[in-house]
């Protein structure tokens, strides 16, 4: 994401609109559950929208505002301008993500994008830039009413050219056309389950990219008359879909060429710095209380059960994939690739809020200098309950209700989300649980 000044951004967008014969501009933002919301304006309204934003009724958006405070303003972020490749080229359609403001122009604290910006600012004040690389898995089904699969492939299978691989290819090309770099894509463990991995980038751009990715995958499926779902556990008895989130902190963002990975230390046996270890300790300690945010649906907890690669035990390791946190092994010359992989989130979360609470948990560990436990390289699932108890290995909450109750008591989550989103989110989840 290029950061242009307001004036440069405005000129860039107006120039692109003219050059590509754009007629409609979709203004995108999300509600607290991470559903993409949008309204369209015509090119004639664009200049005013870039200057002042566009008014809309906030009371109709989940968790936004009560009827008596419903006036909101969507101010487009010119850095996010992209043409929508699946719309006609003639009278083209573009999109921009928006920041949601109050009528007076100050940020609206119920906007998930603002919540993430606030947490990134906190990291920046500590000298860090937060980078993430989420791996979103999803399923293709024949239609939205049942779970009839499109292929019978397995992990990394090269299946004969079938509809699913074509759909995946088209999704990757569309994402690239929209300026989103894709690292690789492959077939996942279950039949008709796929994964596309976007290239590691800073967290605000990535949260916008996740929203775009989910829409693109669904859009391409729709175009071919099938259905794509990011539901955590659509089919009983086979692997669910996760959103393993690779994350790291970089120091000294004032000199981008010189920025270095704050998690790396050559002399440590795990090649992890003190900052990296404290970050892991923070994630482990606060994992149960952030789970309602990273795994926000009743269905999420059907995935978080032992035996299907989904992590439920609070432990970390380098090689072991049964742990909640994995630190991929260091390869010489790849210092900047040192990262922590947090494996419990699922792809139906709100990425703005999920990245916010993961970062907040890690920063808490750094600030309070938490001690990291010993890594657990043996398979945690195969340990006896007694052995896990001796090693002090506890588990994530096993239902949405248990998760809500832990989140409700969490100072870390409350500070990360801010009072407005914190209360609205919990209220919403309690209604869902009932």
Task: Give dist(CA 29, CA 312) in Å, integer.
Answer: 32
State the CB neighbour count (10 A cutoff) for residue 5: 9
Q: Which residues pair with residue 185 across a beta bridge?
A: 196
Q: What's the token pair of residue 355?
A: 């990245």
| Catalytic residue set | 57, 135, 137, 188, 195, 244, 321, 341, 343
Which three-class secondary structure state does DSSP give residue 423? helix
- Which residues on adjacent β-strands are paired with residue 194? 138, 187
Please state, in angstroms and rounded to a whole number, the distance separating the CA atoms of residues 144 and 227: 6
Q: Which residues contact 98 (CB under 8 A, 6 or more apart)?
A: 27, 28, 29, 53, 74, 75, 76, 77, 113
Exposed/middle/buried for residue 294 (C-beta within 10 Å: 0-12, 13-18, 19+): buried
Q: In 159-217, at which residue ranges do the beta strands (DSSP E only) sit?
A: 182-187, 193-198, 201-202
């Amino acid at each position: 994401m290029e950061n242009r000044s307001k004036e440069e951004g405005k000129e860039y967008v107006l120039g692109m609109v003219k050059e590509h014969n754009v007629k409609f501009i979709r203004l995108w933002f999300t509600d607290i559950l991470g559903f993409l919301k949008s309204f369209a304006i015509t090119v004639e309204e664009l200049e005013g929208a870039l200057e002042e934003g566009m008014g809309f009724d906030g009371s109709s958006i989940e968790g936004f505002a009560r009827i008596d405070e419903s006036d909101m303003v969507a101010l487009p972020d010119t850095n996010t301008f992209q043409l929508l490749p699946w719309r006609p080229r003639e009278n083209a359609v573009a999109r921009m993500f928006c920041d949601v403001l109050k009528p007076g122009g100050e940020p609206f604290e119920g906007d998930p994008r603002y919540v993430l910006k606030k947490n990134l600012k906190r990291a920046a004040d500590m000298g860090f830039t937060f980078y993430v690389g989420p791996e979103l898995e999803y399923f293709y089904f024949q239609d939205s009413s049942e779970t009839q699969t499109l292929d019978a492939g397995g992990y990394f299978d090269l299946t004969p050219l079938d509809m699913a691989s074509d759909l995946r290819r088209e999704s990757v090309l569309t994402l690239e056309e929209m300026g989103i770099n894709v690292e690789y894509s492959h077939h996942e463990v279950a039949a008709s389950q796929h994964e596309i991995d976007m290239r590691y980038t800073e967290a605000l751009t990535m949260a916008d990219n996740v929203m775009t990715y989910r829409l693109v995958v669904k859009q391409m499926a729709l175009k071919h008359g099938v259905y794509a779902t990011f539901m955590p556990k659509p089919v009983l008895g086979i692997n669910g879909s996760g959103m393993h989130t690779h994350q790291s902190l970089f120091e000294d963002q004032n000199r981008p060429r010189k920025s270095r990975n704050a998690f790396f230390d050559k002399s440590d046996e795990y090649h992890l710095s003190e900052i990296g270890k404290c970050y892991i300790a923070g994630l482990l300690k606060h994992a149960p209380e952030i789970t309602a945010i990273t795994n926000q649906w009743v269905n999420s907890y059907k995935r978080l059960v032992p035996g299907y690669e989904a992590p439920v035990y609070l432990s970390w390791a380098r090689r072991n994939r049964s742990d909640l946190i994995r630190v991929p092994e260091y390869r010489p010359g790849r210092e900047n690739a040192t990262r922590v992989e947090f494996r419990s989130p699922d792809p139906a979360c709100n990425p703005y809020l999920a990245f916010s609470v993961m970062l907040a948990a890690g920063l808490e560990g750094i600030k309070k200098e938490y001690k990291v436990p010993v890594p657990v390289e043996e398979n945690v699932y195969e340990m006896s309950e007694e052995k896990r108890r001796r090693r002090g290995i506890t588990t994530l909450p096993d239902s949405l209700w248990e998760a809500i109750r832990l989140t409700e008591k969490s100072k870390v989550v409350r500070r990360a989300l801010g009072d407005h989103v914190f209360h609205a989110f919990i209220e919403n989840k309690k209604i869902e649980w009932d």
